[in-house]
């Protein structure tokens, strides 16, 4: 029997079975056998001996799953936000990934933004903004580098960031502003 975790719609396996990060996806077991949902045994689960994938992101990751609505929050200390549902928030993060069915409304300051769904609001992609063929971005948008696949949409106030937001802290001297 699986236990429903009330946070962000994630399901946990039996509460008594020890879990490693790679155990969340049972199809990655080295012997191809998923863990049993029956009573736990004294042996360690197979997933704990499986090597960790080198492509897994390092740091904190928040996934807002399909049909989940997260509204009126400020997201902080999150390295990667994956949006498969709907998020109305402000955030400052390293990476945002919006899935095809996902939507983000609000303000975001991001290093790298990958948009397959919808973003509306204020977006600053300090390093790179990638809008895939199914992506739609609207509002006030600043970016370091921009990639738009065929079919991707970008509208609103769009501005290339010439480096001021990339450094975050170095204000221009007053003499440079007067010129």
The model's pTM is: 0.61
Predicted local distance difference test score (pLDDT) of residue 179: 43
Predicted local distance difference test score (pLDDT) of residue 29: 43
Q: Distance between CA 75 and CA 72 in Å, rounded? A: 10
Residue 113 CB coordination number (10 Å): 28
Task: Count the domains in the chain.
Answer: 2
* Same domain assignment for residues 99 and 46: no
Per-residue pLDDT of the chain (179 residues; tens, 9 = 90+): 455 545 555 555 444 444 444 444 444 444 444 444 444 444 444 433 333 433 445 689 999 999 999 998 899 889 999 999 999 999 999 999 999 999 999 999 999 999 999 999 999 999 999 999 999 999 999 999 999 999 999 999 999 987 644 444 444 444 444 44
Q: Distance between CA 118 and CA 132 in Å, rounded? A: 10
**46 found inside a domain:** yes
**179 found inside a domain:** no
* Same domain assignment for residues 79 and 102: yes
Whole domain around residue 125: which residue ranges? 61-167
* Same domain assignment for residues 45 and 94: no
* Adjacent-strand bridge partners of 131: 115, 148
**175 found inside a domain:** no
Predicted local distance difference test score (pLDDT) of residue 161: 82
Residue whose C-alpha is closest to residue 81's, from 30, 119, 41: 119
- Residue 46 has phi, psi (to 5 degrees) of -60, -35
* Same domain assignment for residues 81 and 159: yes
Predicted local distance difference test score (pLDDT) of residue 110: 94
* Same domain assignment for residues 111 and 161: yes
* Same domain assignment for residues 38 and 75: no
Q: Which one of 10, 29, 53 terminates a domain?
A: 53
Tell me the three-class secondary structure of the chain, residue by residue: CCEECCCCCCEECCCCCCCCHHHHCHHHCCCCCCCCCCCCCCCCCHHHHCCCCCCCCCCCEEEECCCCEEEEEEECCCCEEEECCEEEEEEEEEEEEECCCCEEEEEEEEEEEEECCEEEEEEEEEEEEEECCCCEEEEEEEEEEEEECCCCEEEEEEEECCCHHHHCCCCCCHHHHHC
Residue appearing with tokens 């991001």? 110
**173 found inside a domain:** no
* Same domain assignment for residues 45 and 66: no
* Same domain assignment for residues 149 and 109: yes
* Same domain assignment for residues 95 and 145: yes
Q: Which one of 53, 70, 85 terminates a domain?
A: 53
């Amino acid at each position: 029997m699986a236990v429903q975790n009330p946070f962000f719609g994630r399901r946990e396996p039996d509460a008594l079975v020890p879990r490693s990060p790679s155990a969340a996806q049972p199809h990655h077991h080295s012997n191809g056998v998923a863990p049993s949902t029956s009573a736990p045994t004294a042996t360690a689960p197979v997933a704990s001996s499986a090597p960790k994938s080198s492509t897994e992101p390092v740091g904190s990751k928040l996934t807002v799953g399909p049909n989940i609505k997260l509204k009126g929050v400020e997201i902080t200390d999150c390295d990667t936000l994956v949006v498969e549902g709907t998020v109305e928030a402000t955030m400052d993060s390293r990476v945002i990934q919006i899935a095809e069915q996902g939507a983000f409304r609000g303000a975001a300051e991001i290093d790298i933004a990958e948009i397959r769904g919808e973003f509306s609001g204020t977006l600053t992609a300090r390093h790179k903004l990638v809008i895939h063929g199914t992506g739609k971005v609207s509002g006030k948008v600043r970016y370091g580098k921009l990639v738009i696949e065929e079919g991707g949409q970008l509208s609103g106030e769009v501005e290339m960031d010439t480096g001021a937001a990339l450094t975050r802290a170095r204000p221009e001297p007053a003499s440079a502003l007067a010129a």
